[in-house]
């Protein structure tokens, strides 16, 4: 009984299972796989660069899974597929394929992060990415 | 009324008003949710049920007010008016038939007068590949303004929300 309660609490409010769909996080996250979101990951502080986070839309049942590349206050741009943070190229070993995406520089607000998928081999127009308010970040994808 | 009965009577009256208000609001909220469920069911209805595209498009249009405005976001022109919407729905049916629509995380807030509701939801578009049988999923966040009319609750405004800006 106690174990059941612990499991219920853990998988309901702490390590929330999600099923990833789509190609935007390839090759790091394959489509139709189960992953876990740690909802307590950012209790003591915000996301770090390169964290993979779950971002909620209208609620917690449909989420984006994206990688944080820009932190609050930073300037972010993409030039020929290379992400620049405050004018310096970002090392992204998890990106295996790149198309020459171009994204004009944006300056993030005090509560904003810039998130993007790992699959840069797809057309930029088919890929959802951009600024997100910290309040939408549900937690860190840990598995 | 004796004074010792005044306080309990006031509590009973207040509770009755509270229950009436809560029940009414709950009923409206449930009714709006039912309408949204019916809308997704109408969109997902089989196209082999013997009805023509015009009949299905008209049924779809009945969920919206005459002056409905639909703003799907950057890069698309707003759709204004039910007649335009029905015409588009009829033309696009061969393509939309490959999709299933599902609403998730629906929140409904009905105004105190019970005449209008603000809805926030995520719409899932599930596309089945007719060759491979595999499914792909796309999702988009929307806000809706739903209005009570003589035809029941109808959608007056649909606005796409940019989750990522």
Query: Per-residue confidence at A49, pLDDT binned at 50, 70, 90?
Result: very high
| Residue A139 or residue B20, greater confidence | A139
CATH (domain of A76): 2.10.109.10
**What integer is the mean pLDDT of B102-131?**
92
Nearest chain B residue to A63 by CA: give it.
Answer: B139
Tally the residues of chain A: 143
Residue A14 has pLDDT above 90, yes or no: no
- Residue by residue, DSSP assigns A56-72 as ESSSSSSEEEEEEEE-T
- Domains held by chain A: number: 1
Mean pLDDT, range B2-22, rounded to an integer: 79
Q: Which candidate, B40, B105, B138, B29, places its Cα nearest to that of A58?
A: B105
Taking the C-alpha atoms of residue A63 and residue A57, their distance in angstroms, rounded to an integer, is 6
Report the residue of B75, B163, B165 to disrupt the A interface, i.e. the one with the largest count of A CBs within 10 Å.
B163
pLDDT at A28 over 90: yes
Where residue A85 falls among pLDDT bands split at 50, 70, 90? very high
This complex has an ipTM of: 0.86
Interface size A-B, in CB pairs within 8 Å, comes to 54
Kindly tell me the number of DSSP H helices and DSSP E strands found in chain B: 3, 6
**Average pLDDT value over all residues in chain B:** 87
Q: Is A115 on the interface with B (CB under 8 A)?
A: yes
pLDDT of residue B22: 66
- How far is it, in rounded angstroms, from Cα B32 to Cα B156? 13
Percentage above 90 pLDDT, chain A: 78
CATH class of the B3-161 domain in this structure: alpha beta
* pLDDT at residue B47, rounded to an integer: 65
Which helix H or strand E contains B40, and what residues bound it? helix B3-44
Q: Rounded distance, CA B161 to CA B71, Å?
A: 9
Which residues in chain A have Cβ-Cβ distances shorter than 8 Å to B121? 58
Whether the pLDDT of residue A37 is over 90: the answer is: yes
B105 with A60: Cβ contact below 8 A = yes
**What residues of A are annotated to the active site?**
24, 66
* Domain positions in chain B: 3-161
Contact status of A2 with chain B (Cβ, < 8 Å): no
Average pLDDT over residues A122-130: 92
Instruction: State whether residue A134 sits within 8 Å of chain B by CB.
Output: no
The pLDDT assigned to B21 comes to: 67
Q: How far is CA B63 from CA B54, B100, B144, B152, in A?
A: 15, 17, 12, 9
For A129, the domain range is: 2-141
Distance CA A21, CA B136 (A): 7
């Amino acid at each position: 009984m106690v174990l059941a309660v612990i499991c219920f609490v853990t998988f309901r409010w702490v390590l929330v299972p999600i099923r990833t769909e789509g190609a935007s996080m390839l090759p790091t996250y394959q489509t139709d796989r189960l992953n876990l979101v740690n909802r307590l990951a950012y209790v003591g502080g915000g996301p770090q660069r390169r964290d993979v986070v779950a971002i909620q839309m209208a609620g917690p049942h449909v989420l984006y899974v994206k990688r944080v590349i820009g932190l609050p206050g930073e300037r972010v741009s993409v030039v020929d597929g290379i992400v620049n943070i405050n004018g310096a190229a970002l090392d992204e070993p998890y990106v295996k394929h790149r198309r020459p995406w171009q994204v004009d520089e944006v300056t993030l607000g005090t509560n904003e992060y810039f998130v993007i998928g790992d699959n840069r081999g797809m057309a930029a127009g088919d890929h959802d990415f951009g600024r997100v308010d910290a309040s939408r970040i549900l937690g860190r994808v840990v598995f | 009324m004796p004074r010792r009965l005044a306080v309990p009577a006031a509590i009973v009256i207040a509770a009755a008003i509270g229950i009436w208000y809560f029940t009414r609001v709950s009923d409206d909220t449930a009714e709006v949710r039912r309408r949204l469920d019916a809308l997704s069911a109408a969109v997902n209805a089989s196209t082999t049920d013997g009805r023509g595209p015009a009949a299905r498009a008209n049924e779809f249009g009945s969920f919206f007010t005459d002056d409905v405005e639909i703003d799907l976001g950057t890069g698309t022109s707003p759709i204004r008016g039910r007649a335009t919407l029905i015409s588009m729905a009829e033309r696009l049916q061969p393509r939309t038939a490959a999709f299933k629509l599902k609403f998730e995380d629906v929140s409904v807030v009905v105004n105190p007068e019970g005449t209008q509701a603000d809805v926030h939801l995520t719409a899932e578009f599930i596309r089945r590949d007719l060759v491979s049988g595999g499914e792909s999923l796309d999702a988009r966040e929307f806000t809706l303004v739903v209005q009570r009319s003589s035809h029941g609750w109808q959608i007056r405004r649909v606005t796409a929300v940019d989750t990522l800006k």
